[in-house]
Structure 1
């Protein structure tokens, strides 16, 4: 068994035993490797963000929260190619681009040899033009959206006017390769769309933001006809928006 296969097998072994912990010695015997190899593999899983944890003392060992992981997913060659194209379209300036990159790596590692070869062959024939990316701004926006907290930002509008805003994020909107943060602007006391590449600075706060309906904030704007992408429809029962027509 190669190391990649063993890493996935380790996760499944821990999932099957959960919530009971397994000792390093038991895992080493199960996979016929040294305890040092198992320790190194478990450390690799932790660094990759897999929710494995260790508990010391008698009765302790390594365990995993099965609610925080997914069982193995087997892709067809067509599905793997579709994911390759979709992930290639996520530029470095797009929200959650970093998470998309690590997800792509995990997907690639889980593919069978034939499916992986098909996806890699297609990936070799896809290129993109780099776009400017402000990592600090993007990370702050991601954090505020995920934690539902108030965001302080500096913004330059289409006319070149600079302003500082305190906003309550509601969601993201995409059109023509551009991303917008849709939020309730406390400064303007109204819903506003902020183009991510025009946000020059952003700082998330610890203050909890009030909930705002994304569709309601878009009413009366050029993005009022925005609809949820069909590929996301199965993930949420509520209406989410991604633009299908122009926005300022």
Structure 2
């Protein structure tokens, strides 16, 4: 039988599972009588834990919210997630809370947090813990990562990469890696990565490109079915202010290159129409055709207005 203090911790852990427990279920889990369960519940209440009880056959116990914050039990994954979330926040309150948490983390968890912090840039978001650990371990060990990948159109693909960073932006995590098959840097949505085991051989580290610039360039086109690179005859700052979701690179004082993507050529044409300045387009062919048809409709509308 568990000692009283250990049993209370076990009981608290069960109650924090956000479900109702009957007295019989708790007694079976803890190896004690239902009377002992009732006594332990009273002990938790005396410590500040608001344990709610519902009488009757369908009744049970549930941990509720209280007027003050009692001690909290976290499992390994929850503790790592909280630590990473705090480390990504630039505030004195977050730093104090992180310091308190790191003080009590077991060494195995401190190593996991450190590993994630070294290769993860940005605040945390929902990620499969197993996938995260596999990606992070491959990044730290400099081992090739083989994985199945679901592309934006739903088609499955298999990749082999040299992984370098996990970066969080626009509410998602992305893996920045050197694609072995394509011999170029690529960006992958981490939630679409399904690692395969074992990992590949070790690789010699390459010079990592500017992470933020590479990510912005990848996001400007990677998630879209149609992509276009357009020369715009206007300052880069002016164009970027009008189309913030696209990648804009200055090529001169009054000229820039705009890279944008969309699910349809019509939407790409809308982006270009928002620019309010002249531009030239080389492709894709679907966009060129749509711009031609749009121009014909506009000319017809003008002729009707002038001669109507």
**TM class by smaller structure:** 0.3 to 0.5
TM-score relative to the length of structure 1: 0.38
Question: Relative contact order (alpha carbons < 8 A, sep ≥ 6): 1 or 2 greater?
Answer: 1
More helix per residue: 1 or 2?
Answer: 2
TM-score relative to the length of structure 2: 0.31
Larger radius of gyration between Structure 1 and Structure 2: 2
